[in-house]
Structure 1
Amino acid sequence: MKLSKDLSAFCARLGHEFGDPALLIRALTHSSLSSETRPDNQRLEFLGDRVLGLVMAEAVLAQDPHAPEGTLAPRFNALVRKETCADVARAIDLGAVLKLGKSEMMTGGRRKNALLGDAMEAVIAAVYEDAGFDAARKLVLRLWADRIATLDTDARDAKTALQEWVQARGQMPPDYVEIARSGPDHAPVFVIEVRLASGESARAEARAKRAAEQAAARALLERIDGT
């Protein structure tokens, strides 16, 4: 099977040439376009999630050999969560080659975190099936390298931490407001402001709403912890 020009270009961005191109096509096929002769990527997503988890577990252990489980767990979660997978997918423009049904095409499926994250996991599984665990491991470590290197020492969910902070003081839950959105449809940038009932606020931007919310919460925590 010969890949199209777009898929060949994607393989170059991914850094893997498939011996069995059908695996890649399946990994990129959303259930909205599946049929008896065109299987979707859900089974590959299931497998890819496990491959990613093992690689990231090894990575966080190697990064800090003395960290206790309570410290490792939030770091691991930050690396494997769906939003992180979606951000990695955006970095290699996976959305441009997703195979979607008309309904998902019309509702911006190429930009959705869930679809991008699922497809990224499916692609990892496709590489695993095509060339084995070592190839999949090298791929994941390369695509996640910057995130592993810059992982916060305390990788707690910032939104949860902020929620706990306001609850401890009897305040209303934080309010997250989308202030602006810019960039192309396939790679938007969101500016989110988090506001507390007591008047404190902070803004942050990211390529996914949840990531921007997390960054805004983290910025506000740093501000109020310093007061």
Structure 2
Amino acid sequence: MRTRHRNQFIETNDKELQRSIRSDSLLAEITAVISHNSSSIKQLSDAALACLLRQFECCYGAVLMHDTERDVLELVSELGGDTSNPRAVTIKPSETITGNVFSLGETKYLKEVPGGYAYNIKSGAGSLSASHILIIPLKFNNTTAGVVELASFSAFHEDDIAIAERLCRAMAANAINLRTTFENARLVEKLKLVQQKSAIRMEEQYASMQRLMNEIIERHKKREQELLDEIEKLKQK
């Protein structure tokens, strides 16, 4: 009995070790992929999504990023879709299961495909629709940058879901950092433009003030000359 329990304990530990090794290995791979494809959100999404589809043998994947100005989820990357029946480019956070996942910041695993999702998870390689959908928020430090959709013809194992969530956290961290960098750069450019406009206005105001001062001086000189002329006339009388 003790031997059997010990063997079970060893087997359990071995499985956990294998899962940990696989998770760390995949994280290292996607981190490397991200680091070499971080010039834009689009490039980052394409590279990370391709890695996720390959690792989990998915037939379809999509990345939707949150546009904070318009408050919509925008499709920035899609692989394996049915091009003859394209999906909506934007959705509101309050719409669809994907929007709900973004709003709540919680992963959703669908073992049955809802009718509204048939159009966007259809495999481009055939006429069969995927039977399982995994929707993961791109969330890091309580900030959700977007959502990843993965679709497969087979079930997602619990371990795979945990690993996928970990990979998406790494992707989210880089996406948030990249977006912050772009926003800061945009703000700096906006500030420069404001400063340039302010400088131009100050120059225009200075020039206008200078013209006004010159006019006042000229009027003063003219009046002074008129007074001198009048005094001279009075002297002659």
TM-score w.r.t. the length of structure 1 is: 0.25
- Higher fraction of strand: 2
Higher RCO, Cα 8 Å, sep 6+: 1
Of structures 1 and 2, the larger Rg is shown by: 2
TM-score w.r.t. the length of structure 2 is: 0.25
